[in-house]
Amino acid sequence: MTKDRDYGSQKLFYECFYNSVIFGKGIGASAVRRTHSTMEKPWGGAHFKKVLEVGSGNGEHLDFVKHGFDEYFMLDLRKTELDSSWNSDNRIVTLEGNAESLPFKAGEFDRVISTCLLHHVENPESVLSEIDRVLSQNGKATIFLSCDPGLAVRTLRKLTVARSARKMGFDGYNLMISRDHRNHFGSLLEMAKFVFRNRNLKIKYYPFGVRSWNLNGYAIITVTNSN
C-alpha cells in the first residue's frame, strides 16, 4: 500500500505503476492498446515524409504505427527513451520540448499525432494551434481524446485500471486522475472545432459510436486538408 504522502501521487504513479497498469494485462490495458490501434487503422499502407508525435511519453504509440515514413519526430517535456527495437532506426528523432510552443516551421509536417496529451496540458488551445501551424496544407492530424469526465469513462475506470492500480499497491488512482486530467472533453472538442475551422475535421466516438461523450470511452479527431 502507498503511504499517505504518496496517495494519488502523479510522480509515483508514472514512475512506478504506469506501464504495468496502462500497458500490462487486463481489460483496461487491452482497451488502451485498442485506442492506439484504432488511431492508426486508417493509415495502413500510406506513406508520410515527415511525421510529428506530440506528447510521445515513453514511446508507446510507435509500435502501432503501420504506415511508412521518412522521418518521425517525437516530442515530450522529457525526452522519450526508445526501447531496443527502435533505437537503431535513424529515421526517428526524439526531442525535449513543450507542445504549447513547438520548435518547428509552419507547414513542416504532413502528419501530426497526439495521443493522451490534451487532458494534461496547461493551455490545450495553444497546443491545438501549434498542431495546426506545423501541419502542411494537405497534412493529416490524428488527435485522441478520452471522454473524461463522462459517465462511461468513470464507470470503466473504476472497474478496470483503478482496480488494477489498487491491486498493485497504488492507492488514490481517482485522485491522481483528477489532478492529471485538468481539461474537460467538451471544452477540448470546442477548442478543436475553433482552431481547425479552416480545415476538414471529423470526430468518431468509440466503442459505441453514438455522438455522446457520456456514453463512450474516447473519441478520435481526424483533421485533413485546408478548405
The predicted model gives 196-204 an average pLDDT of 97
Least Cα distance to 195 among 146, 136, 127 occurs for 127
What percentage of the chain carries pLDDT values higher than 70? Answer: 96
**Cα-only R_g, the chain:** 17
Q: Could you tell me which CATH number the domain at 4-226 has?
A: 3.40.50.150
pLDDT of residue 226 exceeding 80? no
Q: Can you give the pLDDT at residue 1?
A: 46
**217 with 146: CB under 8 angstroms?**
yes
pLDDT of residue 85 exceeding 80? yes
Q: Which residue has the higher pLDDT, 226 or 137?
A: 137
Per-residue pLDDT band for 10 (boundaries 50, 70, 90) equals: confident
Q: Can you give the pLDDT at residue 149?
A: 93
3-17, 21-35, 112-126: range with lowest mean pLDDT? 21-35
The predicted model gives 164-174 an average pLDDT of 88
Cα–Cα distance for residue pair 127/118, rounded to 1 Å:
8
Q: Can you give the pLDDT at residue 14?
A: 79
Q: Can you give the pLDDT at residue 227?
A: 67
Q: What is the pLDDT of residues 88-147, one digit of tens each?
A: 899 999 999 999 999 999 999 999 999 989 999 999 999 999 999 999 999 999 999 999
Q: What is the pLDDT of residues 43-69, one digit of tens each?
A: 999 999 999 999 998 899 999 999 999
The predicted model gives 170-181 an average pLDDT of 89
pLDDT of residue 20 exceeding 50? yes
Kind of pairing between the strands at 109-114 and 68-76: unpaired
Q: Can you give the pLDDT at residue 84?
A: 80
The predicted model gives 174-190 an average pLDDT of 92
Q: Can you give the pLDDT at residue 74?
A: 97
